[in-house]
Amino acid sequence: MHKDYTKYSADQLLNDDYFLQSELHPTEESRLFWQNLMEENEPLAAEIEIARLLLNALEKDTEIPSLTSTEENTLWQQIEQTNIETERKNRRSRIIREVFSIAATITLLFAVGWYMAFEPKKQGTDYLAIIESINIPDSASQKVQLILDNNEKMDLEGDEAQLEYKKEGQVNVNSKKVELEKQESTQPAYNQLVVPVGKRSSVTFSDGTKIWVNSDTKVVYPVAFANEKREIFVEGEIFLEVSHDAKRPFIVKTKQMEIKVLGTKFNVSAYKNENNMQVVLVEGKVEVNTDNKNKSLLAPNQMFHYDGRLQKGKISTVDINDYVAWKDGYYQFHHESLNVILRKLSRYYGTLIYCDNTDNDLSCSGKLDLKDNLEDVLNSLKRAIPLEIENKNESIKINVKH
C-alpha cells in the first residue's frame, strides 16, 4: 500500500524509493499511480514535474560529459543507501544535507540541463525549419509527396495514397514495395509527407501506429523513432490510432500544442494561419500541453478547443463523428453553421467559398462525400439549404434564399 504523497515536495520525492524506482524503471501500474495523483492534486503535480525535470536533465545533451551508466547506477545506489541510513535515525534535515552532498557531483549537470530545457533556441527538433526548407506551391492538381531527409521527392499516386513502414525496414506505397535511398547519418533523419488540397493520405509506422492525413496538411516524422519516445510534427489535420507502448509515449507536436499519449485514438486539427485548434479524443486518454504552459487531460468524446490568438483553451463534450468522419471520406454535420461548413470545404478543395448573407444563424445537418468533386458537393449542399451558387473567377459565392 502506497504512502500519502499529497504534501510531498520535489526534494522529498527525490528521496523516495518508490518515486525513483517509478522513474528509472516505470511500469504500467506505477505510471497510472503517479498520473492519477497528478490529476487529483495540482500542487503535487507541480512538485512531481520539478522532480522529473531534475531527473530528466541528466539525459539532455550538454557540453559537459554525461555520467556513464555504471557511474549513474552507483550514484543512485549511494543516494538510496543514504536515505535508508538517515531515515532510520529520523533526522529529516540530515537526510536532505547528506543526499544533496552525494548529489553534488551532478549539481552542475542539473543546472545546465535545467537551463537548456527552457532555452527556446535549443528545444528539440526545429520542425518548422524542416517544413519551410522546401517551398511547395499549393495546387489542387498536385500529388501527395514524400520528401526524404536528403530532399529527394517522391510522388505518391492516388487521391488517398497509403504509405506503410514495415518492421523489417521495407516501405510500401499503395501496397507495393518501393526502394528508398539509405539515409546514413549520425544525426536523426526526418521525412516529410505533404498532402495538397483535395487529397488525403495515410501512414502506418513500423510500431503499428497509423495516421490518416487530411487535405492541405504536412507531417514531419523521424525515419526511426527514438528509444525513449515516438514524436511527430503536424501542420494541418490528422487522425491517429496509436499503438500502445508504455516505455515510449507517442507525442504529437504542433506550432502551439503538444499532445502526449501511450495508446489511443484521437484527432488533431492545427492548420497554418488559423487561430482555432482542436484535439478530439475517441478512445483512451491524452494530455494536451499548450504554449502558455497550460495542461489539459481529455476523456473519450471530449474536445479541447484552443484559441491561439487569445491563448485560451476549453474542454467540451462533442459528437466525435462530426470531427473524425473525414478519415472515412466524408464530412458529417449536426446543426453546424453554414459559415463553418463553407470554411471546411474551402480548406479541403483549395477554393475560396464564401457567403455574404448577414444571417449567421443558418445551420444544417447531413453528410458530404469528399470523393465527389466540388461542384457535386455544393449541389448536395444546395438540396439541404435554399441557396444559389455563383462562380466568381477563382472563388465561389453562396447566396442564401429567404
Concatenating the DSSP letter of every residue in 186-234 gives SS--EEEEEE-TT-EEEEE-TTS-EEEE-SSEEEEEESS--SS-EEEEE
* pTM value > 0.85: no
Higher pLDDT, 63 or 132: 132
In a domain? residue 370: yes
Amino acid at 73: N
pLDDT at 102 over 90: no
Cα 324 from Cα 335, distance rounded (Å): 16
Phi, psi of 168 (to 5 degrees): -80, 5
In a domain? residue 130: no
In a domain? residue 306: yes
Query: In this structure, what CATH number is given to the domain that contains residue 212?
Result: 2.60.120.1440
The answer to whether residues 44 and 38 touch, using CB atoms and an 8 Å cutoff, is yes
pLDDT in tens, 192-218: 999 999 899 999 999 999 999 999 999
In a domain? residue 1: no
In a domain? residue 162: yes
The kind and range of the H/E element at 156 are strand 153-156
pLDDT at 315 over 90: yes
Query: Domain tally for the chain?
Result: 3
Of 321, 347, 373, at which residue does a domain stop?
Answer: 321
pLDDT in tens, 217-243: 999 999 889 888 899 999 999 999 999
HSE (side-chain half, CA atoms, 13 Å) at 263: 9
Instruction: List Cβ neighbours of 258 (8 Å cut-off, separation of 6 or more).
Output: 251, 252, 288, 289, 290
Cα 323 from Cα 328, distance rounded (Å): 11
Kindly tell me the sign of the dihedral angle through the C-alpha atoms of 218, 325, 270, 249.
Answer: negative
If asked whether residues 71 and 18 sit together in one domain, one would say yes
In the chain, % of residues over pLDDT 70: 77
If asked whether residues 349 and 314 sit together in one domain, one would say no
Q: How confident is the model at residue 121 (pLDDT cuts 50, 70, 90)?
A: very low
If asked whether residues 186 and 311 sit together in one domain, one would say yes
Burial of 129 from C-beta contacts in 10 A (0-12 / 13-18 / 19+): exposed
The answer to whether residues 218 and 236 touch, using CB atoms and an 8 Å cutoff, is yes
Most confident of 87-91, 193-197, 210-214, 373-377: 210-214
If asked whether residues 210 and 61 sit together in one domain, one would say no
If asked whether residues 43 and 163 sit together in one domain, one would say no
In a domain? residue 5: no
Q: How confident is the prediction for the chain on average, in pLDDT? A: 80
pLDDT at 253 over 90: yes
If asked whether residues 146 and 252 sit together in one domain, one would say yes
Extended strands (E) in 271-379: 276-283, 286-290, 295-298, 302-307, 312-317, 330-337, 352-355, 363-369
Pairing mode, strands 144-147 and 153-156: antiparallel
Mean pLDDT of 152-173: 88
If asked whether residues 64 and 116 sit together in one domain, one would say yes
Of 89, 122, 155, at which residue does a domain stop?
Answer: 122
pLDDT in tens, 24-63: 888 878 888 888 888 888 788 878 877 787 776 554 443 3
Supply the range of the domain harboring residue 363.
Answer: 329-400
If asked whether residues 302 and 343 sit together in one domain, one would say no
Higher pLDDT, 305 or 9: 305
Segment among 135-149, 206-220, 283-297 with least mean pLDDT: 135-149
In a domain? residue 115: yes
Secondary structure (3-state) at 127: helix
The confidence score (pLDDT) of residue 93 equals: 46
If asked whether residues 282 and 386 sit together in one domain, one would say no
If asked whether residues 35 and 174 sit together in one domain, one would say no
Secondary structure (3-state) at 159: coil
Instruction: List Cβ neighbours of 374 (8 Å cut-off, separation of 6 or more).
Output: 345, 349, 351, 396
In a domain? residue 128: no
pLDDT in tens, 13-30: 888 888 888 888 888 788
Query: In this structure, what CATH number is given to the domain that contains residue 386?
Result: 3.55.50.30
If asked whether residues 351 and 289 sit together in one domain, one would say no
If asked whether residues 109 and 38 sit together in one domain, one would say yes
Cα 219 from Cα 78, distance rounded (Å): 45
Q: Which three cell numbers stand for residue 181?
A: 535511398
Of 87, 122, 157, at which residue does a domain stop?
Answer: 122
The answer to whether residues 191 and 133 touch, using CB atoms and an 8 Å cutoff, is no
pLDDT at 146 over 80: yes
The answer to whether residues 369 and 380 touch, using CB atoms and an 8 Å cutoff, is yes
List 297's β-bridge partners, or say none.
287
